[in-house]
Amino acid sequence: MSNIVLLLAFFQFLNFSSFCQSGQKIKNDVRDFFKVGGDIFSAPAHFDKNDILNLSGTFAITGSAFLIDEEIKGISQSNKSSFLDGLFEIDRYYHWETMAISMAGIYIYGLASDDQDVRNLAVQLSESVIYSSLLNLTIKFIAGRARPYMDIGNTDFEPFNFTWEHSSIPSGHTTLGFAYSTVMADVYNNFFWKFGWYSAAVLVGLARIYHGVHWFSDTILGAAIGYFVGRFVINHSINQQIKKAPDKENILFSFFFPLP
């Protein structure tokens, strides 16, 4: 019901002419969304030395994390407190629902205010979040790794096992957190701004370990997927061209404090 009310309010806000123009903008954004997605999934065919180095480093770090998975699990499960319980509730809020609402809100504002930078921010967030999630789910169900709470060890794999219990690697929450935070961190070239967004993503990964639903190595791989997809989206030629607009640094300021 609330979605219907929001939709009606949105149509009231726009007259017929502006709605036609908005329709073309939406069409262009959808086209760009799928163009970026196609390039993401075809990227491995065009990897250069840096890409191969990043991929090799990700595998090496994830593999090293396997060696301390059990130890990290023991530490996380034996150090519970009310403070940590509250802190690690972040994985309940920094997830799909909140991200979807924020992306929709930013996009609608950018569309209504005719601000291409704001609109593109929402599109980039959608590209990063959705495509990193698709990669995550593909790997997750191909690998079929048992979750920590099953107490059967961190090396139990049942490939193509489409059950929750065997969908541990990579961590979906961590992928989402880094996919969203990587794009948001790029909005401002400010240390504290970037530190805040990446800290939120790291806390999500730690929360998944704390709640016993992921291994440490799950979160490492999940973070890498979210981060590298986010960077790919940010550096894509389509988004770079739009970002050259002079007011790019003021995207969020104009969103929260629009001028009259």
Instruction: Compute CA distances 125 → 26, 88, 92, whole Å.
Output: 15, 23, 19
Write out the residue range of the structural domain in which residue 66 sits: 22-256
In a domain? residue 177? yes
Q: What is the CATH number of the domain that holds 211?
A: 1.20.144
**Rounded Cα–Cα distance for residues 146 and 20 (Å):** 51
> Does residue 17 sit within a domain?
no
| Of 198, 201, 174, 204, residue with least CA distance to 185 | 198
Query: Is residue 249 in a domain?
Result: yes
Looking at the domain assignment, is residue 55 inside a domain? yes
**Does residue 10 form part of some domain?**
no
- Give the number of domains in the chain: 1
- At 162 the pLDDT is 85
List, for the chain, all residue ranges whose pLDDT scores fall below the cut of 70. Answer: 1-21, 243-260
The tokens of 123 are what? 């599109």
**pLDDT attached to residue 114:** 87
| 11 occurs within a structural domain | no
Residue-wise pLDDT for 91-123, tens only, equals: 999 999 999 999 999 999 999 988 889 999 999
Q: Distance (Å, rounded) from C-alpha 102 to C-alpha 124?
A: 13
